[in-house]
Structures are given as structure tokens and as C-alpha cells.
Amino acid sequence: MVKGIIGKKIGMMQLFDDQGKLVPVTVVQAGPCVVVVRRTAERDGHEAAQIGFVDGKPPRKVTKPRAGAFAKAGVPPTRVVAEFPVDSNSEAKPGDTVLCDIFAVGEYVRVVGTSKGKGFQGGMKRHNFRGGEASHGSMFHRAPGSIGASEDPSRVFPGTRMAGRMGADKTTLKRVMVVKIDLERNLMFLRGAVPGGPNALLRLVKA
């Protein structure tokens, strides 16, 4: 069995659990996906499967190696392809369909995505600096403060926290609970928030 699937973030909503408590959830379109390439320990050194996310328009351009892999699997090209581990005794083969039924309600998954981009931000927003006094007459409101001594070492050390580009980073959530699964619409409802905005692509892997 393939241990993961590619999904697309739809948005957030709320559900009520069995105790009547309000639970915030993220709705993810998980699949359908197709197996494109099957990796084996004898040939490739590890057990894995490359799967493609079947979603809307096909890609405009496909490289020859990738097109050959799709043709060999007998499936149309997809825009997104990712590799996931599989069980050593898995019978997954090229052309098979992967759906969100590989997960179960109450199971924990690892979610990998790209966080929202915030653009160029100052030190207070980017690194949670306290800032200076906000009172009248202060000359130090949102500045970062000292970034190094002037005489020794007379330079700024690499990695010093300053203003700069914020967000748009690879982000991993290690344990996210599956609250609900809708097999008919290929939807998974994950507890809490996950990285990215609407239509962001996600990798969901068994935790």
C-alpha cells in the first residue's frame, strides 16, 4: 500500500464532534492519484512509488523521460508528481489508482506544504522582536536594534536576524488528525490549519 497521497487545500470550516465540541478543520482534496513509477529495493535501492495528482488540465509541456514514464504506465500526464514510500510487500503497480481511503478517521498524518508568502517584512513581524517605546519623543519604535559591535569583530555575523523575505518556506506538520473522510468527493477533513493558501498543493503521509 502506498503510504501517502497528493492533495490540494480547499479551505477551512468547522465541524462538531461526537461530544458536541466545535472542531476547526481544513478541507483537502486528496487525490485521485495514479501510480506512474514503482521503485523496488532490488532495482532502485528503496521501496517507493511515484504518483501523479489527477486534477483538471493536463500539463502543457512534458519532458521526454516523464512522457515515457506516463506512456509505460498507461496513464495520461499529470501536472504534479511526487514519490511516497510503500510497504515492501505492496502490490502497487503503474496504472493503479490511489485514493484517500488509504487513511482512516482518527489517524494521524504528516502534512508537507509551502507556507504563505508574506513578502519583505521587518524584524518585529518576521522574528517577533519587541521593538522600542511607542511613546511620543521616542526615536526607536520598530527598529531591530544593534546588529553587532563596531570595533570587534567589526562585522555582522551570518545568520543575524534582520528584516527580509518572510514566508513561502517548506513547512511540515508532523501529527495532524484526520477528522472526517468523504470518499465520494475525495475530501479529507484535517484538524486545525495546514500550510499554504487555497489551492496550495500538499503531501499527506502516514505519520
Question: Looking at the predicted structure, is the pLDDT value of residue 20 above 80?
Answer: yes
pTM of the shown model: 0.82
Determine the pLDDT at residue 119.
Answer: 96
Three-state DSSP string of the chain: CECEEEEEEEEEEEEECCCCCEEEEEEEEECCEEEEEEECHHHHCCCEEEEEECCCCCCCCCCHHHHHHHHHHCCCCCCEEEEEEECCCCCCCCCCEECHHHCCCCCEEEEEEECCEEEEECHHHHHCCCCCCCCCCCCCCCCCCCCCCCCCCCCCCCCCCCCEEEECCEEEEEEEEEEEEECCCCEEEEECCCCCCCCCEEEEEEC
Q: Where are the domains of the chain?
A: 1-30+103-134+161-207, 32-98
Give residue 18's pLDDT: 84
151-174 pLDDT tens trace: 888 999 999 999 999 999 999 999
Mean pLDDT for the chain? 90
Q: Residue 13 pLDDT more than 90? A: yes
Q: Which fold has domain 32-98?
A: Double Stranded RNA Binding Domain (3.30.160)
CATH class of 1-30+103-134+161-207: mainly beta
Is the predicted pLDDT of residue 70 greater than 90, yes or no? no
Is residue 90's pLDDT more than 80? Answer: no
- pLDDT band with cut points at 50, 70 and 90 for residue 29: very high
Nearest to 206 by CA among 34, 86, 52: 86
Residue 86 binned pLDDT confidence (cut-offs 50, 70, 90): confident
Structure confidence at residue 168 (pLDDT):
93
